[in-house]
Amino acid sequence: MVSRVIPVEPFDLVIFGGTGDLARRKILPGLYRRFVDGQMPAEARIIAAARSENTDAAFRDTVRAAISEFVTPEKQDATCIAAFLERLSYVRVDATGSDGWQTLADKMRKDVIRAYYFSVGPGLFGDLARRLHRHGIAGTRCRIVVEKPFGHDLESARDLNVTLAEHFDEQQIYRIDHYLGKETVQNLMAVRFGNMLFEPLWNARNVDHIQITVAETVGVGGRGGYYDKAGAMRDMVQNHMMQLLCLIAMEPPYAFEPDAVRDEKLKVIRALDHVEPEQIVRGQYLSDEDGPGYLEDVENPDSRTESFIAMKLNVSNWRWKGTPFYIRTGKRLRARTSEIAIVFKDPPHSIFGDQESHKSNVLVIRLQPNEGINLKVTIKEPGPGGMRLIEVPLDMSFKEALGPGADDIPDAYERLIMDVIRGNQTLFMRGDEVEAAWGWADPVIAGWEEGGDRPIPYDAGSSGPEDALMLMHRDGRRWREVKA
Ligand code: NAP
């Protein structure tokens, strides 16, 4: 694969929370990979800002360790690492006070792009926005990157939007959803809108239903405190899964441009029907030999928060009326896998009789593992013995199709950060989109909170509660197997 890397403009990137978990595992190793690939110009600088006392040298040592842990050995080169580390510095800044702000302001250059990545807890987003402005280091060539969660409900998301808008234009605000930075997710748009093959079939006349699965094998681990206040609905559905659903369901935008794409996604969210209780199954994982159950993990024996959710959603517009979207996500499931399956209808009449093997076409977009796209088609089983039909995959795994270079596909975070520097908001959520998604989620959550709904226990290592299977069985359909 020939890689065409175009260097971005010189920039100063400040990572608030530059010593935190996300920066260590994703942001800094990702930036190093962009550096190795030649995308970072010589004048680029990265400044980590956090509350603790630290030195440039000690911070660089932690980044060196992070590179060795999270970057593939082929990309680890001592000279490159040393050159990358030279661009890094550390400033002690308190997001909630005045400490360190002047030092940071003195460091910022005027003639380059300024990007401020808010990789701190969501309670600090407003504080950072206010102080950037107060200390005169915002300005028109600056951007802010805001991590998830963006609000806890519609009201808090609105408040945050208002606070950010007091200091920044919408064109300067990059609300990150790393699912949108995944190669396959963008490929979904390429497949839909770059080919004549699928788009004419992409509607309720030809698609029986759509399944979106995001399954994790891990439990809530050390994030129990946060997770128990959020649950799968707030942590996964309102943001990541909603974004996937939008990209599948949206009308073709007039161009692959930020507002054109985001306008179309917004229309999808607005076309979502309210979800009735019988269309939802919530669950909590039980303990097994590999680990404690959800209630022990969050240290709250009374918790009513779900670690699993399955839902049947309807998009009420001309294209999708009558084609349900089934989504499910959960922790401690059988396998770590994320996929979107577009299940097409059967041919209107089978000229081959009632053959068992005659299954519907399914287009599977795999996000992980083995990112790729797979189309199941029916063909004749080769050889004599009459017309026996079999199902075969037309597989387009990136690894096979693109050769060894496919391993080099940038991680979602590094791609998105480069988009921030380039000023391209296409793969970031607009404020009204986030509010619309909360506007849809809030009444659903309120419904089960008011009704005292308790999640159903499910076995760790399973595919979720039995009731989730029933959600589809009732409609004469079945989930695809949760397997890696
Ligand atoms: P974390 O490990 O707890 O790190 C928090 C960072 O914020 C530390 O560098 C900390 O520095 C800094 N900080 C805390 N209070 C501060 C203050 N008053 N002023 C300046 N800096 C302060 O958190 P994280 O896991 O990296 O998460 C960061 C953000 O990313 C959160 O919004 C989270 O929801 C989001 N996120 C994280 C992940 C992930 O995988 N970790 C995934 C998706 C989204 P000190 O230690 O010096 O205080």
Whether residue 307 is contained in a domain is answered as yes
Residues 110 and 233 placed together within one structural domain of the fold: no
Residues 114 and 189 placed together within one structural domain of the fold: no
Residues 111 and 197 placed together within one structural domain of the fold: no
Which segments of the chain have a pLDDT < 50? 1-2
Eight-class DSSP state of 352: T
Task: In whole angstroms, give the CA distance from residue 280 to residue 278.
Answer: 6
Virtual torsion, Cα 364, 366, 372, 376, nearest 10 deg: -20
Task: In whole angstroms, give the CA distance from residue 329 to residue 422.
Answer: 33
Strand intervals (E) in 350-468: 362-368, 372-380, 389-397, 456-458
| Residue 11 φ then ψ, to 5° | -150, 160
Whether residue 377 is contained in a domain is answered as yes
Look-up: residue for tokens 């799968």? 232
Task: In whole angstroms, give the CA distance from residue 151 to residue 393.
Answer: 41
pLDDT score, position 385: 77
pLDDT score, position 90: 98
Ligand 1: distance of its center to the CA of 120 in Å? Answer: 4
Of 96, 129, 147, the residue at which a domain comes to its end is 147
Given the residues 133, 167, 240, 274, select the one marked as catalytic: 240
pLDDT score, position 159: 97
CATH number at residue 258: 3.30.360.10
Residues 241 and 126 placed together within one structural domain of the fold: no
**337-394 pLDDT, tens digit each:** 999 999 999 888 888 877 665 678 999 999 888 788 889 888 888 888 788 888 888 8
Contacts of 449 (CB under 8 A, 6+ apart): 304
Nearest ligand 1 atom to the CA of 94 is 19
Nearest ligand 1 atom to the CA of 50 is 21
Whether residue 92 is contained in a domain is answered as yes
Tokens representing residue 80 in the block: 């490159």
Give, for ligand 1, the residue of 21, 55, 63, 229 to mutate: max count of ligand atoms closer than 8 Å to Cβ. 21
Tokens representing residue 414 in the block: 């590094």
Virtual torsion, Cα 5, 6, 9, 13, nearest 10 deg: -20
Residues 88 and 191 placed together within one structural domain of the fold: no
Strand 88-92, strand 45-50: pairing: parallel
Which has the closest alpha carbon to 175: 154, 146, 143? 146
Task: Tell me what percent of the chain is helix, strand and coil, each rounded to the nearest 5.
Answer: 40, 20, 40
Residues 130 and 212 placed together within one structural domain of the fold: no
Residues 114 and 223 placed together within one structural domain of the fold: no
Give, for ligand 1, the residue of 16, 27, 51, 429 to mutate: max count of ligand atoms closer than 8 Å to Cβ. 51
In which domain, by residue range, is 39 found?
Answer: 11-147
Total structural domains within the chain: 2
Whether residue 172 is contained in a domain is answered as no
Q: Is the dihedral of CA 272, 161, 157, 233 positive or negative?
A: positive
Of 102, 131, 147, the residue at which a domain comes to its end is 147
pLDDT score, position 404: 60
Residues 378 and 327 placed together within one structural domain of the fold: yes
Residues 41 and 86 placed together within one structural domain of the fold: yes
Tokens representing residue 102 in the block: 């002047």
Give, for ligand 1, the residue of 47, 55, 99, 119 to mutate: max count of ligand atoms closer than 8 Å to Cβ. 119
Kindly provide the b/e burial profile for residues 396-419, where b requires at least 16 CB atoms within 10 angstroms of the residue's own CB: eebeeeeeeebeebbbbbbbbbbb
pLDDT score, position 388: 82
Evaluate: CB of 17 within 6 angstroms of ligand 1: yes
pLDDT score, position 1: 47
CATH number at residue 83: 3.40.50.720
Q: Is 439 exposed, middle or buried (0-12, 13-18, 19+ CB in 10 A)?
A: middle
Contacts of 391 (CB under 8 A, 6+ apart): 357, 359, 376, 377, 378, 379
Active site residue 274: no
Whether residue 5 is contained in a domain is answered as no
Write the residue with the smallest CA distance to atom 40 of ligand 1.
22
With helix as H, strand as E and coil as C, how does 46-100 read? EEEEECCCCCHHHHHHHHHHHHHHHCCHHHCCHHHHHHHHHCEEEEECCCCCCCC
pLDDT score, position 2: 46
Residues 193 and 333 placed together within one structural domain of the fold: yes
Whether residue 171 is contained in a domain is answered as no
Ligand 1: distance of its center to the CA of 125 in Å? Answer: 11
Eight-class DSSP state of 288: B
Q: Is 442 exposed, middle or buried (0-12, 13-18, 19+ CB in 10 A)?
A: middle
Whether residue 173 is contained in a domain is answered as no
Whether residue 157 is contained in a domain is answered as no
Of 123, 147, 171, the residue at which a domain comes to its end is 147
Nearest ligand 1 atom to the CA of 96 is 18
Evaluate: CB of 119 within 6 angstroms of ligand 1: yes
Strand 280-285, strand 308-313: pairing: antiparallel
Residues 325 and 467 placed together within one structural domain of the fold: yes
Residues 114 and 216 placed together within one structural domain of the fold: no
Q: Is the dihedral of CA 94, 100, 101, 105 positive or negative?
A: negative
